A = this chain, B = another copy of it.
Amino acid sequence: MENKNRPLIFVSNDDGYYASGLAVLIDIVSKYGDVIAVAPESARSGMSHAITIKEPLRLTKIRDDAGVKIYKCNGTPVDCVKLGLNQAVPRLPDIMVSGINHGSNASISVIYSGTMGAAIEACLNGVISIGFSLLDHSADADFSAAKAYVENIFKFVLENGLPDYTTLNVNVPKLPASEIKGVRVCRQTHGTWKEKFEKRTDPHNHDYYWLTGSFNNFEPDAKDTDEWALANNFVAVVPIKADFTAYHVLEHITKLNHDNDD
């Protein structure tokens, strides 16, 4: 039975229900409330805000302890949030956390990130949320230094809330605790990924390509950006919204306005 005096905390990620980053995150937040986690049954990195339309979704409970329930789902991270909030919770959760992702979601990586897709989906459903990432892709990444920062930011949002339909993108540098300098609230760095495809030929003589690439920071000296914070050993916190409108462009295209009756 749910303890109605405790906050209800929804958890998801994109690395899969078995990822150590998810276990660390549940370990931290379960001190503050009852946890229900719904996570992908396999790694779904790079899934962005994708949803599954043409295949049915399945939800399987894999852990049912007092205060911590974990489900796996065959869908994307956003599917996990949609289906989880619809089928796995007794009421709308008080807060949602996503991660801790194995790898950076700073700058433009936010748009490719399944971790952030899940966090954004939660806030679109009226649940305040935070996406956490550590700048270490390895499966056995060391989350020990990140823990205190994750916990403090989680507590702040649990206590203070966030404006409607917004979430936080929190990235933690890959450093021992003694070398992390603090926390910076900042904006998304203007930058893009430059693709480099590695071309190979299979044993049947057909070409195939592996996607690789490197990040181009267009403003490495801008001290109010997440990449600057991370490069200077700070935890970066960027508030995120799902309004894609480029307001500064509206004026540029006013000539497209046309009324057939005029």
A positions within 8 Å CB-CB of B: 43, 45-54, 56-59, 76, 78-79, 82-83, 85-87, 108, 110-112, 117, 120, 124-125, 153, 156, 160, 162-163, 165-166, 168-169, 180-185, 187-188, 190, 192-193, 195-197, 199-200, 206-211, 237-250, 252-262
Q: List 27 A-B contacts (CB under 8 A).
A: A45-B54, A48-B48, A48-B51, A49-B49, A49-B111, A50-B112, A51-B112, A56-B208, A57-B210, A59-B209, A79-B211, A86-B197, A111-B244, A124-B192, A156-B255, A160-B255, A162-B252, A163-B248, A165-B190, A169-B244, A181-B261, A182-B261, A183-B257, A185-B254, A188-B244, A188-B245, A237-B253
Main secondary structure of the interface of A (DSSP, over half): mixed
Given A58-B208, A180-B260, 18 additional A-B pairs, CB 8 A = A48-B49, A49-B111, A50-B50, A51-B112, A52-B211, A82-B197, A86-B197, A87-B209, A110-B244, A165-B192, A169-B244, A182-B260, A185-B253, A187-B247, A187-B250, A241-B244, A241-B245, A242-B244
Asked if B58 and A260 sit within 8 Å, CB to CB, the answer is no
Cα A239 to Cα B256 with chains together (Å): 11
Asked if B244 and A240 sit within 8 Å, CB to CB, the answer is yes
A254 to chain B, nearest CB (A): 6
Given contacts A182-B260, A238-B245, A256-B156, contact A46 B57 (CB under 8 A): no
Asked if A249 and B239 sit within 8 Å, CB to CB, the answer is yes
Asked if A163 and B252 sit within 8 Å, CB to CB, the answer is yes
Given contacts A187-B245, A187-B250, A259-B182, contact A211 B111 (CB under 8 A): no
